[in-house]
Structure 1
Amino acid sequence: MIDHVILTVADFGRSVPFYEQALKPLGLTDVTDFPGTDGHPHLKGFGADGRWFLWLKEGVPCPNAVHIGLVATSHAKVREFHDAAVGAGATVKTAPGPQMQYFPGYFATWVLDPDGHDIEVVNKTGQVD
């Protein structure tokens, strides 16, 4: 089980508002700061219920090295994430829809964040709304 992921982004001022807006439909509304000291970078954390698992740090991004898949509880939440992410400035990679090449019931969208990181949101339960 993965505890957390850290993405390197070029600019907190651009990326933090993007992720705040894009992740809200998934219920990931907690944002925190981890002050960098003694050589550890300053981080911004995203999560829910006091558990932060997606972290951003400023630096030189390498978006081709990372793909993140996040869970949505329904097809509607996949679409809500897509709309929120696009509204926050994401580039659409794949519009929300069935992805039968993986298996029946796989419903997902893929967007690229402001640095080009590939972010997928998927529902595998078949729950429509």
Structure 2
Amino acid sequence: METNEIYRGRLIDHIQLVVADLAASRRFYEAVFDVLGIPLGGSAKDYFWADELFISSSESEAAQGHLTGRHHLAFQAGSREMVDAFYHAALAAGGTDNGAPGERAYHPGYYAAFVLDPDGNNIEAVHHGAAVRSAASIKVTF
């Protein structure tokens, strides 16, 4: 697997999902990544990846023959319109509705949509509104 850039100081280094049908998952995630403006980082016959999300088949060496369980992943969206586009693209690419776009009570301005990917993972796109600081403004010292 190639690495374009390594970021230090993040809570999550990477996430791997091992899926039952890699082709179905690739169709789903490529559609979602397209509307969120996230480029595919690379792929091979048994995996693909974007940013810090690595998705592989159970035949992949990294998977060791086991599917992962159900997970919740939330992708940041740049606007409410992007959340709406995520939701529609995900459904068109084989996702299942798990919460239509709308405001949530987590904090003021939290606008999100939820879909289940082909393996039942709960995938969310969220726009936090203008009141939340960006990660670039947070200083981390080690």
TM-score range, shorter chain: 0.7 to 0.9
Cα shift at 1:80: 0.5
Question: Residues 40-96 of structure 1, C-alpha deviation per residue, up to 9 Å, x if partnerless?
Answer: xx43112xxxxx3111011253443x1101100110000010010001010000000
| Match among 14, 17, 39 for residue 27 of structure 2 | 17
| Match among 67, 71, 74 for residue 61 of structure 1 | 67
Amino acid at match of 2:92: G
For the pair shown, the structure with the greater C-alpha radius of gyration is 2
TM-score scaled by length of structure 1: 0.80
- Where does structure 1 differ by over 6 angstroms across 4 or more consecutive aligned residues? none
**Cα distance in 1, alignment partners of residues 126 and 110 from structure 2:** 7
Aligned to 1:32: 42
> How many equivalent residue pairs?
114
TM-score scaled by length of structure 2: 0.73
- In the alignment, structure 2 segments of 5+ residues that lack a partner are 1-9, 59-65, 132-142
Identity level (%): 36
Aligned to 2:80: 75
CA RMSD of aligned residues (A): 1.9
Aligned to 1:45: 49
Cα shift at 1:126: 4.8
- In the alignment, structure 1 segments of 5+ residues that lack a partner are 36-41, 47-51
| Greater strand proportion | 1
| Match among 111, 114, 117 for residue 110 of structure 1 | 114
